[in-house]
Chains A and B, each alone.
Chain A
């Protein structure tokens, strides 16, 4: 009886796509060490709008790292529009589930990827339906993925 299932443990112990792409097409950061987790994603996008590479660095618990690994696996080979539909729910499904208390960790990856795509879109004057009205520089607190209860 382990805290995480085998898929999660495999991605945690041997994470895929670790690192940072030099001169990436887009770069996104989400979270902070104060909140308990933080993820940085860099992506490369080709002329057909396909994500050809994605790399991440994550500060966080086992499920944050496993979600980062799985999410980057998932978006490599997708078009940008497809990648924008990768929700935390899909990441959890691919991982075969996370403990209820850890579901928020998968939101980290969804947001960091969205931020990387936003960065790519801004730099290249692109518009995507999935980014409609989204601006990570404005609403960092609005949809905070964490709700850490106050210390007793």
Chain B
């Protein structure tokens, strides 16, 4: 059976070139990078090189890049670190209703255990945050603003440069979660004017278990893990050397291939959307209608009268991997907070599927997917008691 993977925003396969760079760091260059003899120094050299490669992807200085275990850790670190560092200045953090749970759940923790006050900004029906709303939310107690660069569900590209400028005007630190953005949109931290930026290797064809935090030079923040001199004493623990080297290579490939990656993704995403519209009726696009303001590979579509988990399972039976915003998707009964925030009606949210194409997706994959999808939607609609005649 053909297998079609259309969930590149969940994770990506590790590219061969990346794996090839990593393997020696398990077998030959196994020294502890903190050791002072030659094998240790060779391992350290791998870290130094990778730090440069990651810094280059986002226009940073290597000294501003701190490796973490994942993007979520980077998000946790900034929020908890600044809440501690600036506790005498204020206790107010501003974020949005459409952040990843790595941000939202950390904010809820800080609210519950550290007396922080959190403002969750509304977004418009395409998921955009308004710089004006941000400015109105800032108080003299605001110590940090955290707004994602690209939304993981609906692909909205937030106006980070404008938002960061508002923060700067009021002397408030600005963090952006760029886990979905890195490798998918050009990033220059200096041009954007952000103070912190989170990223993750496994979204850019690198390994799982490694992420990074960009922290602008000069900003004070407590260490996140204590117990050693690694990561400039900010994040102790023996480094995941092979993972870091893999992240570095993936970042280099992402930088070198950025234009072709974006062009390929956009072309296939457009083709997917055109084919869905041509072959399936009663569909709805969620997120920005203007594809220029959207993650190049993201398509979020609702199918009327049917439920997302069923669509996912039937597509899975046909070898196709996608994700859904349905409440009934496995693991939780929470509806997508992102789709709720952009005011998608509940019954439509439950019939939502996210497709993300990637470097290994082909036009044939899309043809196969849309054929299967048309059958799946038809099957489930025949099974559904909801027809639209009763009012939705």
Contacts and interface: CB of A to CB of B under 8 A. Distances in A.
B334 A36 contact: no
Given A3-B313, A12-B313, A13-B317, A152 B383 contact: no
Q: How large is the interface on A (under 10, 10 to 19, 20 to 34, 35 or more residues)?
A: 20 to 34
A15 B74 CA distance: 46
B350 interface: yes
A75 interface: no
Given A13-B317, A36-B307, A61-B328, 17 more contacts: A3-B313, A36-B328, A36-B350, A39-B385, A58-B383, A60-B328, A61-B309, A61-B310, A61-B326, A61-B329, A65-B310, A101-B330, A147-B333, A148-B335, A151-B335, A151-B341, A152-B104
B317 A38 contact: no
Interface string A83-125: 0000000000000000101100100000000000000000000
A81 interface: no
Contacts of B340: 151
Interface in B321-354: 326-337, 340-341, 345-347, 350
B220 interface: no
Contacts of B260: none
- Tell me the interface secondary structure of chain A in the complex: mixed
Contacts of A147: 333
Interface in A31-70: 32-34, 36-40, 57-62, 64-65
Contacts of B341: 151
Interface residues of B, number: 37
B192 interface: no
A64 B331 CA distance: 15
B392 interface: yes
Interface string A137-151: 000000000111101
A136 to B, nearest CB: 15
A144 to B, nearest CB: 13
A141 B140 CA distance: 46
Given A38-B385, A61-B326, A152-B108, A33 B305 contact: yes
Given A33-B350, A37-B307, A58 B384 contact: yes
